[in-house]
Amino acid sequence: MFLTTGAAARHCQVSPAALKRWIRAGRLSGFQTVGGHARIPLEEFQRFLHEHRMPPYSEPALEPIAVLVVDDEPEVVDFLAALLAEHPRGFKVETATDGYEALIKVGAFKPALLILDVRMPRLDGVEVCRRLKDNPATRDLKILGITGYPDAAETLLASGADACLAKPLTLAGVERELARLLPSRPR
């Protein structure tokens, strides 16, 4: 788990700029994401707090949001898993490569969001979506469809998906749908 500089700064009652100076000076360990955002490993932050006799960091919002990514294309799965792993909202990511595996993982993993490819071998995304929306236990699961076939988007939406993005995926498009489909987390 990683903290943003804003969250760590609020806990220490300093500005994010002051916290970034501590990182640059080597007083606190952190790193920069590909997107240019600073992150602090939670364990490192807890060590820093203990060392400086500050209260430990604990926030209920640290529980990550579970997301299941389902696609038979490894490049798409890797792109989405990397994006979600470094996202400041904190996501726990599982992946599946076909519809049958997706249904099993939905039951075990209990995701808040399913990112689902439409066309896959064995069991396609449309049928997965129908089965999940027909089941009272999974009816409220948010489903973001992804497809390289524009005509397939309508079919997936008709089967109960909450939104659908066209491939190739863009960072802006995925970010927009994450913000729309998932509730804001308390700060």
Do 83 and 173 reside in the same domain of the chain?
A: yes
The total number of structural domains in the chain stands at 2
For residue 185 the two structure tokens come to: 């987390």
Domain boundary among 56, 77, 100: 56
Per-residue pLDDT tens for 108-121? Answer: 999 999 999 999 98
Do 33 and 96 reside in the same domain of the chain?
A: no
Q: Is residue 130 part of a domain?
A: yes
Per-residue pLDDT tens for 34-62? Answer: 777 888 998 999 999 999 999 888 765 55
Q: Is residue 103 part of a domain?
A: yes
Using CA atoms, how far residue 37 sits from 74, 138, 154, in Å, is 26, 35, 36
- Determine contact, residues 68/94, Cβ cutoff 8 Å: yes
Do 37 and 127 reside in the same domain of the chain?
A: no
Do 51 and 70 reside in the same domain of the chain?
A: no
Q: How would residue 185 be classed by pLDDT, with cut points 50, 70 and 90?
A: low
Q: What DSSP string describes 46-98?
A: HHHHHHTT-PPP--GGGSPEEEEEE-S-HHHHHHHHHHHHT-TT-EEEEEESS
Compute CA 74 distance to the chain's CA centroid, rounded to the nearest angstrom: 17
Do 143 and 93 reside in the same domain of the chain?
A: yes
Give the domain extent around 171: 63-181
Give the CATH number, domain containing residue 31.
Answer: 1.10.1660
- Determine contact, residues 145/151, Cβ cutoff 8 Å: no
Kindly report the length of the chain: 187
